[in-house]
Amino acid sequence: MKIALLGIGLMGFPMGRRLCEAGHTVHVWNRTPAKAERLIAFGAIVHPTAAHAVAEADMVITMLDHGGIVSHVLFELGAADAIKQGTLLVDMSSIKPVEARDHAARLSERGVDYLDAPVSGGTLGAEQGTLAIMAGGKAANFERAMPVLKIFGRPTHVGPIGSGQLTKLANQMIVGATIGIVAEALLLCERGGANMGKVKEAITGGFADSRILQVHGQRMVDRDFAPRARMTVQIKDLRNALATASEVGFDAPITTLFEKLYSEGIEHGLSDLDHAGLFVELASRNGMS
């Protein structure tokens, strides 16, 4: 297939590489050209504009920072008008459900099909092809996208347009809150004199075990907060969750609390840390290094 990939950042780069390695003709574009040019070595074709990249594509995939940028690239930079009628656009960015529904409606007017399919699993999942993919849209469009989505990981059709983004918000609510409680629990143990690494080892396999404990908990033990998914990405998703909750009249006090904690961490200079860096904010509150 001829596949256009718009957005070659932390996630887009390994996803683009996997598409190339699967034998597809991959057309790429990124606001910073140097990031897209890294894929030339794998056979990708780099384009100067998003509109050029999508012009001959059978499928267009977007992996951009947020809904505002997706809208800007599609409808202000001319990408939507350049996509051939009948092409399927799969938005794998994490955006608001209401934005996904709006984009789908505007693309439909141009004869372009749409699937919202955000992912979870971070850069490691993107590199290994083990992402959890949450897709919203028509069942026929999901089946059409399935061979490509399987290159990235495990796709699941969760409902109509916007449902993929809603599921991603649920995912990020759980991730953000769990990172916070793992950090708080490990710091409490350290303050009390226990070895954090041994605490993590002791509760592994018990009822409190989780992927967050294993991956992010280990980053906390190692004090490794190099960004895989930044604090700024986590807070964006929590704020999108709260905005969506407000739209449907749902009270989300736990998410509200963690939005405040991540926000204060960012205000204290932690914006470029991995989202496990909430540990640093909680440590600082307790006078711990």
Please enumerate in sequence order all residues whose Cβ is within 8 A of that of 107, keeping only pairs 6 or more positions apart, or say none. Answer: 74, 80, 83, 89, 113, 114
pLDDT band at residue 58 using 50, 70 and 90 as cut-offs: very high
The answer as to CATH 2.60.120.560 being correct for domain 2-159 is no
pTM score over 0.95: no
pLDDT band at residue 231 using 50, 70 and 90 as cut-offs: very high
Fill in the amino acid letter for 141: N
**What does the pLDDT read at residue 83?**
98
Q: At residue 273, what are phi and psi to the nearest 5 degrees?
A: -85, 160
Contact call for residues 53 and 63 (beta carbons, < 8 A): no
Contact call for residues 243 and 259 (beta carbons, < 8 A): no
Please enumerate in sequence order all residues whose Cβ is within 8 A of that of 281, keeping only pairs 6 or more positions apart, or say none. Answer: 261, 262, 264, 265, 268, 270
Q: Of the listed 2, 84, 138, 168, which one is catalytic?
A: 168
**What does the pLDDT read at residue 248?**
93
Nearest to 14 by CA among 69, 63, 67, 73: 63
What are the boundaries of each domain within the chain?
2-159, 166-285
**What does the pLDDT read at residue 137?**
98
Nearest to 117 by CA among 57, 59, 157, 170: 157
Q: Is position 260 annotated as part of the catalytic site?
A: no
**What does the pLDDT read at residue 236?**
92
**What does the pLDDT read at residue 42?**
98
The token pair at 76 is 């202000």
Crossing angle between the packed helical segments 196-203 and 163-191, to the nearest 10 degrees: 120
Give the 3-state secondary structure percentages of the chain, helix then strand then coil, rounded to 5. Answer: 55, 15, 30
Contact call for residues 50 and 78 (beta carbons, < 8 A): yes
**What does the pLDDT read at residue 229?**
86
Maximum alpha-carbon separation in the chain: 64
Judge whether residue 171 has pLDDT over 90. yes
Contact call for residues 24 and 59 (beta carbons, < 8 A): no
Distance of alpha carbon 152 from the chain centroid: 13
Continuous H helices in 132-225 = 139-152, 163-191, 196-203, 211-222
Judge whether residue 228 has pLDDT over 90. no
**What does the pLDDT read at residue 87?**
98
CATH tag for 166-285 (out of 1.10.1040.10, 1.10.8.80, 3.40.190.290, 3.40.50.1700): 1.10.1040.10
